[in-house]
Amino acid sequence: MKNKIYAMGHDQNLLSRISESLGTDHEVLCFGGADELFEAVVSESPDLMLLDCDFSRQEDRDMFERARKVSPHSKILIISDTATIRDAVSITKLGAANFIQKPLQIDRLIIAVKENLKGEDRRFTAFPKGIENCEWLKGTSAKIRQMLGNMEKETEKESDIIFICEQGIDATVLAEIIHWNSRGKRLLAGLACRQTGRQDLRFDAIDLSSFKKESSENYFWAMIQELVSGKETAGGECCGTLLLKNFDIVDRHFQESILKYLEKTLKKSPGDRIKIMISVGRIEDMLELDRMHLLDIFSKIHVPPLRERREDIPVILKSYLDRYCRIYGKAITAVSTDLLGTVMSYDWPGNIKELESLLEPAVMNCSSDILGMDSFPVDYRMIFRKLSYEIGETAPMSVAETGLLKEVALRFRDKTRLAGEDLAKLLDVPKDSISDIG
């Protein structure tokens, strides 16, 4: 796999030369400013950063320090035409991997990059190119960082995995990310299509909800035996990773049969078999199988629901907005304070799927550059949850009634554009009771 390199500078000609000279052997992304660079670094740390800096400016020295803190495992090469030899020594002492004086000599750059990436394994990538629907993984909460850290650890160990995720969270993208990150190492370990020796590994997923009927189990066994055997498809690939989705909804006998079959398969060394992953909604439903030691071959990864990572919701919301705006040709630049407060306080029992099902039509219906409650198809559970955050779980009935009426009136006002007496008539309440909402 190619190493990822981020290059930042204000000279577009310099960035073009860097991209052209390094782009064949590495994945190179160029940024015209520090804000763009750090936004990308938050999503995925590179193996190497090339920073075009003027160290006579405090702003550039601060940027270098920030780069070291935000991505401590990335190596940093400084490119500058103003730094002296003393500056170069100081920069190196501060943590830069190398210093390159302008005018930039491409052959020297290539050598410096090669030396600093020598022996480096490709770092775990949480957002690989080509894998879609990763928006919900963004954020910096402790819960999501712990999950991604566990994924990286289990990828390194070549573990077979059980994903424990609630309703509305699809483990497919997580399994694909692990497959993508482990694919290169597994090819080097010698896993190949057994029939032809070709080393093209693909990702496959089977939704077990399609095999709940006993009459369909024979079809399942034929399918899984073909995948596990390493048989090559017409496209020249064989299965490298297999995800069994909704494992917990099939009957216990079927679960036992699958696990006993996999136990025999997984006894082979990791380099000579496919990687197996399973997704379940509740690990409590699997306790009997655990007591039978049929789950011992798997490592468990808990996927945090949205309510456990509320601080990530703003960045998740922005990522989905960007996607839907591209699809529907919208120019939404922000979310209203009222809407953000509502989605932040809601518990999201349906998790990511519920968020997607509400946000997509909201973007479609929005005619403004700010997405507000008037476009959002509000679930009234959201209103109750927001209200409990604002007035407390044990507020007096009179306070709760007043707060609930206000929230409902606000929603109807945004939806109908009515106000004052007209809105009071619609709600069949005295005008004075909603006079403070405008």
- Same-domain pairing of 428 and 294: no
- Same-domain pairing of 272 and 344: no
- Same-domain pairing of 216 and 325: no
| Prediction pTM value | 0.62
Domain finish residue from 70, 88, 117: 117
In the structure encoding, which two tokens stand for residue 330, read together?
């919208």
Q: What is the pLDDT of residues 94-103, one digit of tens each?
A: 677 777 878 8
> Residue 129 domain-assigned?
no
Half-sphere exposure of 132 (CA within 13 A, CB side): 2
The H-or-E segment that residue 21 falls in is: helix 12-22
CATH of the domain at 373: 1.10.8.60
Give the pLDDT band of residue 320 (cuts 50, 70, 90).
very high
> Residue 128 domain-assigned?
no
Distance CA 207, CA 228 (A): 16
> Residue 419 domain-assigned?
yes
- Same-domain pairing of 171 and 282: yes
More reliable by pLDDT, 79 or 194:
79
- Same-domain pairing of 320 and 365: yes
For range 60-74, the mean pLDDT = 83
> Is the predicted pLDDT of residue 246 greater than 60, yes or no?
yes
> Is the predicted pLDDT of residue 26 greater than 80, yes or no?
yes
Q: What is the pLDDT of residues 335-392, one digit of tens each?
A: 888 888 888 888 888 899 989 998 999 999 898 999 988 787 765 556 555 555 555 5
Count of helix runs (H) and strand runs (E) in the chain: 16, 12
- Same-domain pairing of 157 and 275: yes
> Residue 403 domain-assigned?
yes
Domain finish residue from 304, 320, 344: 304
Residue 371 domain boundaries: 310-437
- Same-domain pairing of 393 and 300: no
pLDDT value at residue 265: 75
> Residue 74 domain-assigned?
yes
- Same-domain pairing of 139 and 222: yes
- Same-domain pairing of 154 and 76: no
∠ CA 204-208-213, nearest 5°, is: 140
CATH of the domain at 211: 3.40.50.300
CATH of the domain at 81: 3.40.50.2300
> Residue 123 domain-assigned?
no
Distance CA 203, CA 182 (A): 11
> Is the predicted pLDDT of residue 198 greater than 60, yes or no?
no
> Residue 380 domain-assigned?
yes
- Same-domain pairing of 285 and 253: yes
Residue identified by tokens 């779980």 is 393
Domain finish residue from 277, 304, 331: 304
Total domain count, the chain:
3
pLDDT value at residue 262: 86
In the structure encoding, which two tokens stand for residue 81, read together?
């035409």
Classify residue 224 by burial, with Cβ atoms within 10 Å: 0-12, 13-18, 19+.
Answer: buried
> Residue 126 domain-assigned?
no
Give the pLDDT band of residue 180 (cuts 50, 70, 90).
confident
Q: Alpha helix locations (H) across 267-368?
A: 287-291, 313-328, 337-345, 351-365
Q: How many CB atoms lie within 10 A of CB 4?
A: 21
∠ CA 361-362-365, nearest 5°, is: 85
- Same-domain pairing of 185 and 322: no
- Same-domain pairing of 153 and 292: yes
Residue identified by tokens 């007209």 is 422
Q: In what order do the strands lie in the sheet with 98-101?
A: 27-31, 4-8, 48-52, 75-80, 98-101
